Amino acid sequence: MRAYERLYRYAQVNTTSYESNEAVTPSGAGQFDLANLLAAEMKELGLQGVFVDSHAYAYGFLPATPGLEGRKRLGLIAHLDTVDDCGGTDTHPQIIERYDGKPIALGASGKVLDPEMFPHLKDCVGKTLLTTDGTSVLGADDKAGVAEIMTLCERLISENIPHGAISVCFTPDEEIGHGASLLDLEKFGADLAYTCDGSAPNEIEYETFNAASAKISIEGLSVHPGTAKGRMINAMLVAMEFNAMLPADEIPAKTEGREGFYHLTDAKGDVSSASLQYILRDHDAAKFEAKKQKMLEVTGALNAKYGAGTVTCALRDQYRNMAEIIRQHPETVEIAEAAIRAVGLAPVSQPVRGGTDGAQLSYRGLPCPNLGTGGYAYHGLYEHAVAEEMDTCVEMLLHVVKGFAER
């Protein structure tokens, strides 16, 4: 079975993760549906020790073929959850065969996947595409990675390809920052690993943001507006003031490359109370710490103005820049770059303006760069994947396995 055929099937399983339910793993119960489906498929393919734990992590293992037992154990990881974006959780993917290079109607939604907006589509003429129907994300982030790992395992077993020991894990809740937190590294047993959660097949990513969240809570004082002078504290106006005290140019819409940002993701409130939710990002560790300090400084300044306890700031670190760890394990990059060249592509590495499970795992002791999957335009209605590029990613993973077997 080709990887895109697996993606088509997996995409139709609702695996939305919900930040509103982040205290529970998995945050969306549907993630168990795909985890159990994958476990059954792994058993059918011939993986050993397959199980799904109480948090919807699906594990499977391939013992080394004879003579390669002494090689380092390779880990392969992809996440099975999808974002709670675009208003739809039920996915109805489209398969476009022999793409003609023209704009693609996304179902009956009225939306169009246009090569003028996504120029790489101009290189996909004649290929097979998977798209959304314009009502939800596709879920190629990261079910394309899931599909490619499963297809890799099928080929390793059916074609009797020599390999060292391989550990596989499909994780929940990556989209809300928890995907790696409960992965059992002892049971997983890998020495080095890769997440398959990128975009173009020639990508290898090992430099991510440092990341934190900040929840700002504001307690106002509501009195009758006719007698409010000198007494009322309008929590919504304090919230607006808080945001105005942050650097206006350090937002996602005005930054790129290694430039960090403050991103206001949610705002709620009335006169009595209000809340703001931010994510803070920076590749540079010192600048990242300065951003967190800035949030505390603004909190202190507003409390000095309106009274102690008016504003509270809860900061939570989410992940760190994995580059600091990967530099200590250059073989992870060397093997991946050689695998990309082996499929006829030139390796590209750019700083990730985001993060992956690999960032958390690297700091937990499992060096874990990120590889491409052939999916594009993640987290939106225009998300799509290219079947032939997914095939290339499977071939690239085969060369990664070969690289570990030869070391």
- Boundary-marking domain end, from 319, 341, 363: 319
Q: Are residues 326 and 197 in the same domain?
A: yes
Tokens of 248: 């206006």
Q: Residue 293: give the domain boundaries.
A: 210-319
Residue 87 has a pLDDT of 65
pTM: 0.85
Separation of alpha carbons 319 and 314, rounded Å: 16
**Residues 236-244: contacts with CB under 8 Å, at least 24 apart:** 236/269, 236/270, 236/271, 236/274, 238/274, 238/302, 238/306, 238/310, 238/311, 239/267, 239/269, 239/274, 239/275, 239/276, 241/302, 242/216, 242/218, 242/276, 242/298, 242/299, 242/302, 242/311, 243/276
List, in sequence order, every residue forming a beta bridge with 311; answer none if it has no partner. 218
Task: Round to whole Å and give the CA distance between 133 and 82.
Answer: 16
CATH of the domain at 242: 3.30.70.360
Do 152 and 182 lie in one domain? The reply is: yes
Answer yes or no: do 138 and 107 share one domain.
yes
Q: Please indicate, yes or no, whether residues 348 and 292 belong to a single structural domain of this protein.
A: no
- Residue 360: pLDDT above 90? no
Task: Work out the burial of residue 80: count CB atoms within 10 Å of its CB; fewer than 13 is exposed, 13-18 middle, 19 or more buried.
Answer: buried
**pLDDT of the residue at 88:** 62
Residue 362 CA to residue 365 CA, distance in Å, equals 5
Calculate the alpha carbon distances from 17 to 23, 31, 67, 161, 176 in Å.
12, 8, 42, 36, 7
In this structure, the answer to whether residues 83 and 196 fall within a common structural domain is: yes
Tell me which residues are annotated as active site: 81, 174
Of the candidates 299, 319, 339, which is a domain's last residue? 319
Assigned token pair, 286: 């010192």
Count of H helices and E strands in the chain?
A: 10, 17
pLDDT value at position 90? 86
Domain boundary among 319, 349, 380: 319
Q: For position 255, what pLDDT does the model report?
A: 96
- Same structural domain, 172 and 229: no
The answer to whether residue 53 scores a pLDDT higher than 90 is yes
Give the total number of structural domains in the chain.
2
Structure tokens at 69: 């037992």
The residue with greater pLDDT, 351 or 240, is 240
Residues 194 and 229 grouped into a single domain: no
- How buried is residue 339: exposed, middle or buried, by Cβ count under 10 Å (0-12/13-18/19+)? buried
> Which structure tokens are listed for 318?
């989410």
User: How does pLDDT run across 61-110, given as a tens digit for each residue?
Assistant: 999 999 999 999 999 999 999 998 776 678 999 999 999 999 999 999 99
pLDDT, one tens digit per residue, over 281-321 is 999 999 999 999 999 999 999 999 999 999 999 999 988 89
At position 349, the amino acid (one-letter code) is S
Per residue in 363-384, pLDDT (tens digit) is: 899 999 999 999 999 999 999 9
Please report the beta strands in 190-286, taking only residues with DSSP state E, as ranges in sequence order: 192-196, 204-205, 210-219, 261-269, 273-282
* 57 and 178 share one domain: yes
> Is the C-alpha dihedral spanning 19, 21, 26, 28 positive or negative?
negative
180-217 pLDDT tens trace:
889 999 999 999 999 999 999 999 999 989 999 999 99
